[in-house]
Every structure is written in structure tokens, then in C-alpha cells.
Chains A and B, each alone.
Chain A
Amino acid sequence: MIPRYQRILLWTLVCGCTLLALFLIRGCHQAHKRLTALNDATPIAAPVSATNELVALYVANDADATITPTEARVPLPQDPPLRARALLNYLLAQYSQENSAHPLKSGPAVDDVFLLAKPKKAGSEKSDAGDAEGGKVAVVNLNGAFASNHPSGIECETLTVMSMIGTLHAAMPEVTEIRFLVEGEQRETLAGHSDLTRAYKAVDTSHTR
């Protein structure tokens, strides 16, 4: 025969366990809701096909060391850095085609293009760097393999650099200065000859010979 106080204690414990179980289950549900609410629910933008645009490509020719502007229709994104990168990659890809007048190996050429406000000159009274100079600096980060596989020579390297400068200048007039990096770091020359440590003025390179 179970004493009455023990039965009361047993039922009290059973009720306590049930309440505790319900409390834990509710806590789990709330934690789950809280965690799922943290997930990024932003819908992924649908891919937009870039429209073909008419651009001027400054094409190099090794035979007479000239740069000739030629028009081409190139699909370009709207974002300026992406646009500059796509344009330069398209330009350099032309040189890997058969019968190119300035043959280069195929493969990724430009990793990134950064557009920065031009640094303020010492003594300039204007506060904003970009306004003080009225232009932007384009920093072209070349792919390491592109630089390593580039033919070595003054003429060949200079024409590649001038070709990129001329094409960027024609497509983005707001760029007034161009610098080059290789794999994110400054490198003395492209392939042993053309200086990459200096800043180049963005100009029409078809007349620089």
C-alpha cells in the first residue's frame, strides 16, 4: 500500500516533468524561429545579359610598332570597374587569335580594375581629391600568368601597355591616370622591359610613336 503523501509527490513530479518538457519544446521552437530569421532572404538578382556597345579598341601592330583605333561591338556591364575589366579582357583576348598582329598567349589577362579618386596635389586648396584633379586613377591588376607568359621585349611590352591605355582612355574619359599591378603587387616591369612602377597618363596612344 503506497502512502498518500508518496502518491501526491509522484504526481507532482510527473506534472513538473511534463511542464519542463513543454517548456523545452517551446524554447526549441523559438530558437529555431530566431535562427531561421537571420538567414539572408534577399532574392538573387536574375542574370541580365549585357548589351553590345560600340567601343574603340586601340590595337597594336608589331610590324611597324603602331597603335590603331578600331571599332568593335563588345558586351559590357554598366558598373565602371567591371566594364573596364571586361573591355581590357576583350581587347587582350583579340591578341590571342590567329593572325594577330601582336600575338599574345590566351588566358585570363586582367583580374581587376579599381577606379580611385586622384590623390590631391600638395598645396591644393580643394579638399576633395577627385575634384582637385578632376579625374580618376585606374589601377589595372594584371593576372600573374598573363605577365609571366607575355613575350619579352621593349616593343612588344610597350605596345601591350599602350594598347590598354589607349582603349581605357577612349572608353572612360574620366580616367586621367593609369597604374599597373601584377597579382595585386607592384612589379618593376611587365616581362623585363616595360616599366610598370610609374603612373601613365591616360592619353590617345595612337599618336605616341
Chain B
Amino acid sequence: VPALPHPQPVQYKNVIVLDPAHGGTDAGASISATTPEKALTLAFAAKLRSLLAAQGFSVVVTRDSDPGDALPSDQRAGVANHARPLACLVLHFTADGGGVHLATSSLTPSDASASRFAVRWATAQAGMVTQSLALSHDLSEALDAAHLPAVEMRASVPPLDNMICPAVAVEIAPHKVKDGQPTAVTDGAYQQSVAQAIVAALTNYRTEVFPASASPASAATPEDER
């Protein structure tokens, strides 16, 4: 009798999905006269990817170039859901506001185990809102520790609501300092500080979710082994 295939794990502890928002015909916000948001999100994802890899994370990105057409939000959610990651970060930039905005789904939290057979696509994130809020809190603390102001909020931003993993939209806005010129989001040092804080938060979050983890190896470990 052939052996049954191993069931797929619920979550891989070392996998992170990065979704550089916009792309293709969807340029996103106009950060400056020559810089569209889609270019910044892609460059920031590359920067974050290398920092995460150094911490033993395996990174899946929804796009690693500027496609000809806009990537549908359902397709982005599909990539994230298929990867079964520890967390998914949707990356955005804006020229308005200040600090780093951390948005989690505005869906009402529900018990993920309540849906035994199927999850509704439109409200897939509902079962993960609690974990997403915990991830957002870790990100906020890490940014505060790096002296970067962070604002946590609930929002309905595609494709957050369709994801079945802890997911947070990270929107980087200019760094405003009292009685001084704000630092633009295109500033390399500012981006590096934010990226390092995000990596620290994800490392901390991994330890919280998998407290017994001893090795940072990128092996896929099922959540059941916690």
C-alpha cells in the first residue's frame, strides 16, 4: 500500500511573502514628479528581501519586476495563500502624512477553525485578524524602538481581506521631525531604518509564534510541530 502523502503544513515558519503594491499600468501614488509608488515598493521589497534572507527567512515576492499589465489583487492574494507564510507584508509608499502606517484588515475577527470546509474569499482574512493585529503590534514596537513613528490602523485595502495568513499593509510616509524638514520616502537611509525595524519585528514575531524554534534554518516547519 503506498504511503499517504504528508499533509501540507498550515504555516511555514520561515516563509515571508512581500507584496510590492501596484505595478504595470497601476503606478500608484505619485511620490515625486519622476518617482511613481510602484518603483519605490519594488526597490524596497528587494532591500527587505536581502535583509530577511540574512535572518534565515525564505522570501516569496508577488512581483520582482514591473509587469506590462497591472497585477490583479486576487492574484497577489493567491500567491500569498499558496505560500502558507508566517506573515505577508503589503508594501506601500505615500507622500502624504507622516511616519509608517500599519494597516490591518477591518474585517471583524472570527474563529478560523469555525469554517471547516471552505473560507469565503471576500472575508478570508477574518480568521487571521487576531494574528495580523499581533504582527502589526510587533512592527509598531520595533519601529518605535528605532525612533520611527508608527500609526496602527484598520483599513480595507486590497488584497488584505483575501489572505489566509497574518497580513499587514506597511505604508511608508515621510519622516516628520519637530522643527525640521521632513525626510522624504525616497531617502535611502530612512528606507534602511524602516527595513531593519521590519526585519527585527518579523524575527520577534517568529519567536512568538514558534517559541521552541532554535535554528534559523529555512526548512519548512509545520505549525503542528509547535
Choose one: A62, A64, A189; the contact of B96 (CB below 8 Å): A62
Residue interface bits B91-122, CB-to-A below 8 A is 1, else 0: 01011111001010010000000000000001
Residues of B whose CB lies within 8 Å of any CB of A are 22, 26, 28-30, 37, 73, 92, 94-98, 101, 103, 106, 122, 151-158, 161, 169, 171, 173
Q: A208 in the interface, Cβ–Cβ < 8 Å?
A: yes
Bound CA–CA A208/B96 (angstroms): 21
Beyond A62-B96, A63-B98, A192-B29, whether A154 also contacts B158 by CB under 8 A is no
Which residues of A in the span 21-67 have a Cβ within 8 Å of any Cβ on B?
Answer: 62-65
CB atoms of B157 and A195 under 8 A apart: yes
Q: A152 in the interface, Cβ–Cβ < 8 Å?
A: yes
Residue of A nearest to B73 (CB): A188
Choose one: A64, A156, A158, A192; the contact of B156 (CB below 8 Å): A158
Bound CA–CA A65/B152 (angstroms): 8
CB distance from A165 to the nearest CB of B (A): 11
Choose one: A155, A194, A208; the contact of B151 (CB below 8 Å): A155
CB atoms of B28 and A152 under 8 A apart: yes
CB atoms of B101 and A152 under 8 A apart: no
CB distance from A14 to the nearest CB of B (A): 84
Interface centre among A63, A65, A151, A200 (most CB of B within 10 A): A65
Bound CA–CA A55/B169 (angstroms): 34
Interface centre among A63, A155, A188, A209 (most CB of B within 10 A): A155
CB atoms of B151 and A65 under 8 A apart: yes
Nearest 10 CB-CB pairings of A with B? A153-B94, A152-B29, A158-B155, A195-B156, A155-B101, A154-B171, A65-B151, A151-B96, A65-B153, A62-B97
Residue interface bits A198-209, CB-to-B below 8 A is 1, else 0: 101000000011
Q: Total interface residues on A, using CB and 8 Å?
A: 23
- A residues less than 8 Å from B169 (CB atoms): 154
Bound CA–CA A188/B28 (angstroms): 13
CB atoms of B156 and A194 under 8 A apart: yes
Bound CA–CA A64/B153 (angstroms): 10
CB atoms of B161 and A154 under 8 A apart: no
Bound CA–CA A158/B102 (angstroms): 12
CB atoms of A193 and B157 under 8 A apart: yes
CB atoms of A209 and B158 under 8 A apart: no
List 19 additional contacts besides A154-B155, A155-B153; criterion CB under 8 Å: A63-B97, A65-B151, A151-B29, A151-B96, A152-B29, A154-B94, A154-B103, A154-B157, A155-B171, A155-B173, A158-B103, A158-B155, A158-B156, A194-B157, A198-B122, A198-B156, A208-B106, A208-B154, A209-B152
Residue interface bits A155-169, CB-to-B below 8 A is 1, else 0: 110100100000000
- A residues less than 8 Å from B173 (CB atoms): 153, 155
Residue interface bits A178-199, CB-to-B below 8 A is 1, else 0: 0000000000110111110010
Bound CA–CA A200/B122 (angstroms): 13
Bound CA–CA A26/B136 (angstroms): 87
- A residues less than 8 Å from B73 (CB atoms): 188
